[in-house]
Amino acid sequence: MNSDPLAPEELQLFRTRTTIIVIVIALIFSLLASRLWYLQIVMGNENSERSLGNRIRLIPQAAPRGVIYDRNGVAIADNRPAYQLQLIREDSPDLERTLRNLSKALNIPHASLLKKLEDHRHQARFKPIILEEDLEYKKAAIIETYQEDFPGISIVVQSRRFYPHNKIAAHVLGYVGVRNEEQKRKLSKNQLSSGQIIGQASTELIHNETLIGTDGGKQIEVDYVGRELRIMNKPVAPVPGRDTYLTIDTRIQRFIHSIMRGESGAVVVMRPKTGEILAMGSFPNFNPNLFAAGINRKNWNRLMNNPDKPLQNKAIQGTYSPGSMFKLVTAYAGLEQKIISPETTYFCPGYYNLKGGKASYACWKQGGHGVVDLTKAIRESCNVFFYHVAVEMGVDTLHDYAQKFGFGVKTGINLVNEKSGLVPNSDWKLETFGERWYAGETPPVAIGQGAVSVTPLQIVNFINIIANNGKVIQPHLLLEKESEFQNLDLNQEYLELIRKGMTEVVNDPHGTAKGVRSKIWTIGAKTGTVQVISKKTRKTLDEEQLKLKKYQNHAWVVAFGPVEDPELSVAVLIEHGKKSSYAVPFAKKIFDYYIENYYLPRRAALNDLESQPLAQRLQAAFQ
């Protein structure tokens, strides 16, 4: 069948359209060719590098945190396995069925599992979703045993901080937590994975740099969306953090926790000759395990809203008036300034009237102590004797001696946020209040009241100076550290007089700490009762209010022994203990525990060794 030939006009239109189509196609292929040339030639090297970066990845592996041990090698901050429950949706053909099985087997609300999925709905299906951070071991075992019933579900074992003794030494150890951005910037590149959880307080924070390990890792090949295909090369093992050994003795620490149960305050137990802290407790305390996986809001609010401040380390951060313990500073200053001598006496009628003034200052004992010399003043804690000394000396001189004995300055212990306390003088008052110092403000300072404030650690450090014949040694918690003595060039005769008074505080029938007396050791001590509210405030309260615990006085005692060769020093502060006699039995128990469990067994072992023939003793010594 023949068709009619195209008219010339139609033929021309067809040719024009064909030419346009050819030109358009040519342009498109030209653009594609130029783009291909640009990507392969101009951007070839860069795209090749990007492709390689997408194909090979380094997966870091976190190192376990270094373990913290006590002086005897007992782990007090360790690591434990944490079983993380993960879901990879891509590996679960029937996701809803998997979740139902999981909810039923592990007793996890189905709704909470669905919420976890909803929170990660934009995440790639091959990426793991963490359903539980720290699954119980029994539940993890169920998943591992019946894995076929939970497609897409896996258990990933991670290292988590663990405090095996719970609250014991919590304020010394501190706790760990998730790092913030500022803390992240301080980490080296090979600690970024291991340092996701870092120390946030006390020893965990101070030694964080060495406790954090070095990351390991593996090189893997992934596809274009990041799915792992295979492991490249040999994985690099992570290097655990360095272990730390403290001077703390867990047995003594546990004992002071047992006797302080239900109390609020602080206890410090030290070796005077070495500066080693054997125990440091702040009460009430807390369980650092609460922080290991990230503390929840309920527990955080409970700790923060507790009026007894369980998170505060009262041994170094709590500042209190020292009360009568400060009289030892006044005594030494008075002797060295020649205001008093060993023979000086004052008459105590139960009060002291400032010359030229109307103010009257009471002694704690109604009716007074009668004629008092220095030894009796220390033994029976006579206020009036020390009023006389301080007023004649002046507050500025007293301040200088107090600072020499370590008050008003930090001890330098290797813990964070230590407080320096305060010993007032005329310059301090002028700078703080813009007023001059009045003579009537000096008597309270003489007996450790008024604006004077100290920490329990400063108190035991001060007593160590007296016990060590005027040598000061910095208290420390790190076992490998050796502190050096600094000789304060104090008068030995005056120190001996003060030690004599402290010995009578314990061993004389009229002493204020006779309850600390030991049949084995000669112990010296000083007590203190500290007013919490002023007499003026007390007059504004009714009888029911005055019975409230928060208005009761604090109770102090500090002691060391044996006096002849000091081996142990102890400071006990009981908040709102009413009077110093309340704190005395606590110190007694600590000395008895140490003598029975450390001193006597050691002496028995030495006696056994000495009773052996010389050859056996030499052999034992070499072994």
**Intervals of CATH 3.90.1310.10 along the chain:** 59-245
Q: What is the predicted pLDDT for the residue at 349? A: 95
CA–CA gap between residue 461 and residue 472 (Å, rounded): 8
- 237 Rama class: left (phi>0) / alpha (psi -120 to 50) / beta: beta
Whether the CA torsion 481, 484, 488, 493 is positive or negative: it is positive
Q: What is the predicted pLDDT for the residue at 133? A: 80
CA–CA gap between residue 430 and residue 434 (Å, rounded): 4
Burial 507-536 (b: 16+ CB within 10 A, else e): bbeebbbbbbbbeebebbbbbbbbbbeeee
Q: Which uninterrupted H or E stretch holds 16?
A: helix 8-37
What phi and psi, each to the nearest 5 degrees, are found at residue 19?
-65, -40
Amino acid letter, 56:
I
SS3 34: helix
**Intervals of CATH 3.40.710.10 along the chain:** 313-605
CATH no. for 59-245: 3.90.1310.10
CA–CA gap between residue 324 and residue 322 (Å, rounded): 6
Q: What is the predicted pLDDT for the residue at 374? A: 96
CA–CA gap between residue 202 and residue 366 (Å, rounded): 45
CA–CA gap between residue 458 and residue 410 (Å, rounded): 8
SS3 129: strand
CA–CA gap between residue 314 and residue 172 (Å, rounded): 11
Q: Which residues of the chain have pLDDT under 70?
A: 1-6, 10-11, 14, 39, 42-59, 219-220, 222-229, 231-232, 357-358, 609-623
Question: How far is C-alpha 361 from the geometric centre of its chain's CA atoms?
Answer: 41
Q: What is the reported pTM? A: 0.83
CA-closest candidate to residue 381, choices 356, 348, 417, 430: 348
Residues facing 360 on adjacent strands:
353
Q: What is the predicted pLDDT for the residue at 157? A: 82
Q: Count of CB atoms within 10 A of residue 49's CB?
A: 10
Q: What is the predicted pLDDT for the residue at 225? A: 47
CA-closest candidate to residue 64, choices 190, 228, 276, 211: 211
Q: Which residues are identified as catalytic?
A: 324
CA-closest candidate to residue 322, choices 452, 225, 410: 452
CA–CA gap between residue 229 and residue 598 (Å, rounded): 61
Q: Count of CB atoms within 10 A of residue 240's CB?
A: 18
Q: Which uninterrupted H or E stretch holds 170?
A: helix 170-173
Amino acid letter, 81:
P
Q: What is the predicted pLDDT for the residue at 25? A: 84
Structure token pair of residue 497:
């007089």
Over residues 15-57, the pLDDT tens digits come to: 777 778 878 887 887 777 777 777 677 666 656 555 554 566 6
Residues facing 568 on adjacent strands:
561
Q: With contact defined as beta carbons under 8 Å apart, do 455 and 315 qualify?
A: yes
CATH no. for 313-605: 3.40.710.10
Can you spell out the DSSP letters for 105-126?
A: HHT--HHHHHHHHHHTTTS-TT
Q: Where are the beta strands (DSSP E) in 257-305?
A: 265-270, 277-283
168-to-70, 257, 306, 404 alpha-carbon distances in Å: 11, 7, 19, 34
Q: What is the predicted pLDDT for the residue at 218? A: 72
